[in-house]
Structure 1
Amino acid sequence: MISLLAAASLLTAQPACAPVSGSDALWGEELRFIAVGELHGTAEAPAAFADLVCLALKKGPVTAVLEYPVQMQATFDAFMAEPDADAARALLLDYPHGPFRYHDGRGSEAMLAMLQRFRALHQAGGDLKLLASVPASPRVEGFTQSHAELDRAQLWSAAARAAPERRMMIFVGSVHAGKARRFGSSLGLPAAAHFRPEEVLSLYVATNGGEAWNCREECGPYALTPLDLGDRRGVVIAPEADGAFDGYLAVGPATASPPVARP
């Protein structure tokens, strides 16, 4: 489905990518969407996703779909185009209502580093675009989160149809990246479940414990429950019993990534 001709347009000046074990499973011709579901606030998940995006760029054009409000799209476009690294960073941090002012894990040092890496890949000639993908649709009384998930899926679909040659690499919270409703969940269908299963490969970010920085009763590092994958790292294709994910992006022990320090 992804045109082979697109790969021929890549420039050889792109930075080298770190290898990711098992990542060859992601580049099938039928796969249009690669969805990676994380728990916000670790250092490892954004770094691993950036590695996958780097590898995807070797195959053809990529759109990195990120869990930021659609109102940030113009800022993302300007950030990617800005030739000066310090000025580009300031564009993100100065956005008045963005996640780098109100921390929920999406405004972490690791997320900023991921975005800066994406800009560097683009500046080096990679055909990479960012898509802010949290819709601005209002919440209506009596309508559940399942309708918000449908809005996300519609936004992803519209972007894919507008540029069918682009591979969609999606990085969102795990509740949005599943391909089936989890048993007992009040969420309804996750966003990724609204597409034909053959078009989507969904990965759950798996850690061997460690910590993530997020906000519960208070904001700070919280312990994570380990998922026993042994010493495996990278992409592990192993469908969960409930069918929500095709496998894991195994990152080992997690390190909490705090909010970006502001001057």
Structure 2
Amino acid sequence: MIALVAAALLGAAQAPCTPPDGTDALLAMERRYIVVGELHGTTEVPAAFAQMVCAAAQRGPVTIALELPTVMQPQLDDFLAAPDEAAALAALEGTHFLNPRMNDGRSSRAMLDMMLSVRGLQAAGRDVAFHAFQPSTPRPPELSQAWYELDMGHALAGAAHARPQAKVLVLVGNLHARKTGFERFTDVGLPAVGHRPAGEVASLNVAQQGGSSWSCRASGCGPDVSVARYDEAARGIILETDAEGAYDGVLALGPVTASPPVVEDPGPPASAGSSS
């Protein structure tokens, strides 16, 4: 009885979830995997994903699968199990997430905020866990991108094997989130999500509606313009299979803003004798 009362108090103390419109219909689908295919480096997508996780966790166990190296799994477990936020952040020290050279958007401040929100769900008594599924073993140059997608799909399958009772919510780049291959890019083969049973996956493509994202180019990293290719007025989750069968719908959040990495790359060291 005491445990039941404590769980009720924890649930009451948790802030209400504010997921995108259409989340309830999405979660009601009998799909083990709910995939959000993003353009890395935005503020809005991880924030919306966090609220989708919040809504899913009210229904039952949730595994949060992230496009982070599989070698980070122990640190992600420690992050979630840490007694306080300071200890949680300390658990990430030395990982790819805090490496300023790995700042392509997957280690953004918005991503960290999302991960901290998952800790809040656990503190409120929800059954949540992280699962890293980016292959850590470098792909030999003799093998095409298709092999990397196969490895990623296999790592993603591990989320279901580890917690078969849980719904798996996946945040990943939109190329990997496709359920079908590309006609033009044959070296990609079947993307990672396409290696999961199609009937167990609902994949959303984040609509490009303008704004900016944090990306890296040869000239350096920083905010980059995101081209508007979708109805700029649309909002929420719109379940509609595209012509290629690649996605089951879109997640429309409006114009996005760039989220810089937690640790920004300081750039090359100044040469001897130079001044600022």
**TM-score, normalised with respect to structure 1:** 0.90
- Determine the structure 2 residue equivalent to 1:223: 225
Aligned ranges for residues 25-104 of structure 1 at < 5 Å? 25-28=25-28, 30-92=30-92, 94-102=93-101, 103-104=103-104
Q: 1:99 to 1:190 in 2, by over 3 A?
A: farther
- Provide Cα deviations, 1:136-184, integer angstroms capped at 9, x if missing partner: 2341242111111111111222320332110010101111111001221
**TM-score, normalised with respect to structure 2:** 0.86
- Determine the structure 1 residue equivalent to 2:248: 246
- Asked whether 1:192 is paired with 2:193, we answer yes
Gaps of 5+ in 1: 1-8
User: Which letter maps to 2:120?
Assistant: A
Number of aligned residue pairs: 254
Gaps of 5+ in 2: 1-6, 265-276
- Provide Cα deviations, 1:13-58, integer angstroms capped at 9, x if missing partner: 4431013201123224530011111111110111111111111101
- Determine the structure 1 residue equivalent to 2:20: 20
Aligned ranges for residues 197-208 of structure 1 at < 5 Å? 197-208=198-209
Are 1:109 and 1:260, in contact at CA under 8 Å, matched by a contact in 2? yes
- Determine the structure 2 residue equivalent to 1:135: 135
Distance 2:91 2:158 in 1: 26
Distance 1:109 1:100 in 2: 13
Are 1:15 and 1:121, in contact at CA under 8 Å, matched by a contact in 2? no
Are 1:22 and 1:234, in contact at CA under 8 Å, matched by a contact in 2? yes
Secondary structure in structure 2 of the residue aligned to 1:72: helix
Residues 200-209 or 97-106, more deviating: 97-106
- Determine the structure 2 residue equivalent to 1:5: none
RMSD: 2.0
- Determine the structure 2 residue equivalent to 1:110: 110
Residues 137-146 or 190-199, more deviating: 137-146
Distance 1:23 1:184 in 2: 33
- Provide Cα deviations, 1:80-118, integer angstroms capped at 9, x if missing partner: 1112112212322x2244354321111211111111111
User: Which letter maps to 1:38?
Assistant: E
Distance 2:236 2:74 in 1: 33
Runs of 4+ residues over 6 Å off in structure 1: none
Are 1:15 and 1:124, in contact at CA under 8 Å, matched by a contact in 2? no
Q: 1:91 to 1:101 in 2, by over 3 A?
A: farther
User: Which letter maps to 1:144?
Assistant: S
